[in-house]
Chain A
Amino acid sequence: MKASDSALSGDTLDRLLAALDVDRDRAGQAYVLLRQKLSGFFQWRGAPLPEEGADKTLTVAAKRIADGEQVRDVSRYCLGIARLILLEQSRTRDRFSPLEFEPPAPEAANPGVDHARMDALEQCLGELPADHRELILNYYADDGRTHIDRRKALARQLGIAPNALRIRAHRIRARLEESVRQLTEEVEGADDMKSGRGALTDRGSTRLGKPGSVRHHHE
């Protein structure tokens, strides 16, 4: 576990959650969503390690709140901190290792079948409720106008508006992607342990979503 996680434990985390919402459950949900926004902010700004940036932002915000700073809008407050951290990161880009700045591989745009990822996808699809699995496979099938027609028909069948279907499909897909990501990390981790490369790929340990911590999918 990294120092940033340690810093968010105990009283510091409690104060941040209390600033987010008086209800503990809602505060947990708000925390997860805020972290997603921060991670998105860093990613969409081109930062190489979005989750690290999000965690650092939350740590700084939590410490300041714990120190007594009065914050009316935690979300906006965190955005301000995130911008400062991004600025700091852009000045010290050279501290990132070459591995984290891996350039795009020429074949990445048109690779062959990724059997390992396909296996993981099929396993995770199998773990979805049947109606979710059916919706995902229907929604993302085909191309061009055919899939537009398909989606309209699917929305009619489910009795919801096309945009509601779009959001529903995205939420299921987000969960599916997270499951596949965790599964492939487990598999890669096991392979790395066998080959003695375990320490190189353990980047997910800063995630709040690891077992035993606050975890919520925004839906």
Chain B
Amino acid sequence: MAYLLGELSEKERARLEEEYFADDALFEEIRVAETELIDSYVRRRLSDTERSRFEARYLAFPELRKRVDLARVLAEKADSAGTPIGGRSVRWWQWSPEGRWWPRPAMVAAMAAVALLVVVVGAWWLAKTPTRPETTTARLEAPTNPVVEPPDTLAQPLPSTQAPPGTSAPTKPLSDAATGGGFALVIASSLVRSSGTEPVLTIPTGVETVRIRIDYGGEIYATYGVEISTPEGRKVWSQSGLKPLVPGAASVAITVPTKDLAPGNYILTLSAGAAGQPLENIAEYGFLVTRK
């Protein structure tokens, strides 16, 4: 994508050109990547910087702008087409990650049950929690969407996200006093990518960074790394050398510049390892960024 957006050095560009003129598969891969880049623009998944670069390159010339226009129309058509897979016409809300079909009444009933549970638990929690004075207004509010445990059939974590055998979650929840609080988003260990329920990070206008806490609920490691990428695999932000938020807690905090988080879906990959050892991926989470 860096090549397509003109972000490579002259030397790197020349080398890549030599390679794709000699390698048909690489050339096709670049063309596929270009189509995906156009789709990302149309779907508003590019960062502000990428969007500016894209517009300077792809909207400046009529032939390229036509491709962008067509991508927009195709996305609209595909989204509204009813998309039959396996002989049945379905919408996204009827589709489960495992490829099974949700009978509509069952889905509705499940959603209603979850909503009722949220209301009941929320009311109980409000009744039990003592009223606290408002903290600093400079910090973002906690996510407005509650952490909802999905139905059992959707709650199975991906193999790569399961905690190693013999490990355990922190024995007590982290308090704001211990962690510094003020997290715009808290990702809990149950919200793995396949869960069907993802947290939403709403970024107000004017906010330059957001704090995200990841409570992965597994073994404690010496060092951690976090990478945030788009569903297509484009890395938008990363940081390594992270330590547990609180000593002994399976929790990591990051501060991410909001300029790197355009509205859209993201995948957060948490890696960890012993001191001086390569990091290994231990969990993946999906989350959605919106702006207000």
Contact = CB atoms under 8 A, between A and B. Distances in A.
- Asked if A and B are interacting partners, one says yes
Interface in B6-29: 6, 13, 17-18, 20-22, 24, 27-28
Given A76-B18, A122-B77, A150-B85, A109 B55 contact: yes
Interface string A126-154: 00000000101111111111111110111
Which among A45, A111, A118, A174 has the greatest number of chain B C-beta atoms within 10 A?
A118
A88 interface: no
A94 interface: no
12 contacts: A36-B27, A48-B61, A50-B63, A100-B61, A104-B59, A121-B70, A140-B78, A145-B286, A152-B99, A157-B85, A170-B28, A180-B70
Interface in A153-196: 153-154, 156-157, 166-167, 170, 173-174, 176-177, 180-181, 184
Interface residues of B, number: 61
A145 B61 contact: no
Contacts of B213: none
A113 B77 contact: no
A147 B74 CA distance: 14
Interface string B32-74: 1001000100010000000100011101111111111110111
A144 B62 contact: no
Contact of B22 (A75, A150, A153, A173): A75
Contact of B84 (A109, A111, A134): A134
Given A76-B21, A100-B61, A142-B92, 13 more contacts: A33-B27, A37-B27, A50-B63, A104-B59, A105-B59, A108-B68, A117-B73, A141-B81, A143-B264, A145-B193, A147-B231, A148-B231, A153-B99
Contact of B59 (A108, A173, A177, A181): A108
A43 interface: yes
B188 interface: no
Contacts of B63: 50, 203
A154 B99 CA distance: 8
A106 B62 CA distance: 14
Interface residues of A, number: 65
Interface string A33-76: 10011001101111010100000000000000000000001011
Chain A interface, DSSP helix/strand/loop, else mixed: helix
Contacts of B75: 140
A149 B101 CA distance: 13
A141 B28 contact: no
Contacts of A48: 60-61
Interface in B77-102: 77-79, 81, 83-86, 92, 95-97, 99
Contact of A113 (B24, B35, B59, B76): B76
Contacts of A203: 63
Contacts of B24: 33, 218
A104 B85 contact: no
A203 B64 CA distance: 13
Contacts of B21: 37, 41, 75-76, 78-79
A103 interface: yes
B35 to A, nearest CB: 6
A218 B28 contact: yes
A46 B6 contact: yes
A102 B83 contact: no
A125 B77 CA distance: 10
A139 B85 CA distance: 10
Contact of B60 (A40, A102, A174): A102
Given A166-B32, A170-B35, A180-B70, A103 B81 contact: no
A108 B65 contact: yes
B237 interface: no
B281 interface: no
B198 interface: yes
Contact of A140 (B13, B74, B85, B95): B74
Nearest to A151: B231
Contacts of A43: 64
A152 B32 CA distance: 17
A108 B85 CA distance: 33
Nearest to B93: A146
A109 B55 CA distance: 8
Contacts of B288: 144
B147 interface: no
A137 B92 CA distance: 13
